[in-house]
Amino acid sequence: MSDTTQTTQPLAQPRGIHHVRLSVTDIERSKAFYTALVGAEPAVDKTSELSSDPGAVEDPQKLFGGAVFALGDQILGLRPVPGASGQTFSPERPGLDHISLAVGSRADLDAASARLAAAGIEHGEVIEIPAQEMAVLSIQDPDDINLELTAPLG
């Protein structure tokens, strides 16, 4: 690939992130976790396809046997990975480091922290990062994928 640092015309002109899809080891467990986290059922759920069509995990028309959640204008998808049982995510490998989900305020982070604690879900403390004008609350999903809930300061 050629050096693009000197290119004045972008190679593509994305307007934002359309969706993120996470590979998961147990689709039902992850679907339940994200349903509880976002407070909504999946907008599209093709997980039932897995019981009648084992090939669904390879079919983009069937969302690879996964589910998607609508988060405002963005989409968060879950895709089952056959044969990955026992494996966990690592931000130390190339690929994804974490996903940050926006909430409205610091008070929303504090409320989420209390609800996570009441549900027995491990999470970090709310951390303020003044240099970035935000506060974050860290959570690990069932596959150990790091999620941050992020709110603006002030």
CATH 3.90.230.10 fits 97-154, yes or no: no
Distance of CA 56 to the CA centre of its chain: 21
- Round the average pLDDT of the chain to a whole number and report it: 89
Q: Would you say residue 73 has pLDDT above 70?
A: yes
Q: In this predicted model, which residue has the larger pLDDT, 31 or 88?
A: 31
Q: What is the pLDDT of residues 92-129, one digit of tens each?
A: 777 888 999 999 999 999 999 999 999 999 999 999 99
How are strands ordered across the β-sheet holding 134-140?
Answer: 99-102, 146-152, 134-140, 127-129
Q: Return residue ranges of the chain for CATH 3.10.180.10.
A: 97-154
16 has pLDDT over 60 = yes
Region 15-27: what's the mean pLDDT? 89
Domain with CATH 3.30.720 in the chain: 18-83
Residue 154 and residue 136 in contact, taking contact as beta carbons nearer than 8 Å: no
CATH number for the segment(s) 18-83: 3.30.720
In this predicted structure, the answer to whether residue 74 has a pLDDT above a threshold of 80 is yes
Stretch 34-46: mean pLDDT, rounded?
Answer: 95
**Model confidence, pTM:** 0.84
CB atoms within 10 A of CB 85: 8
- Residue written as token pair 């290119």: 7
Alpha helices in 1-105 (DSSP H): 27-38, 49-52
Query: Does the pLDDT of residue 7 top 80, yes or no?
Result: no
- Confidence band, pLDDT 50/70/90 cuts, at residue 60: confident
Read off the pLDDT band of 5 (50, 70, 90). low
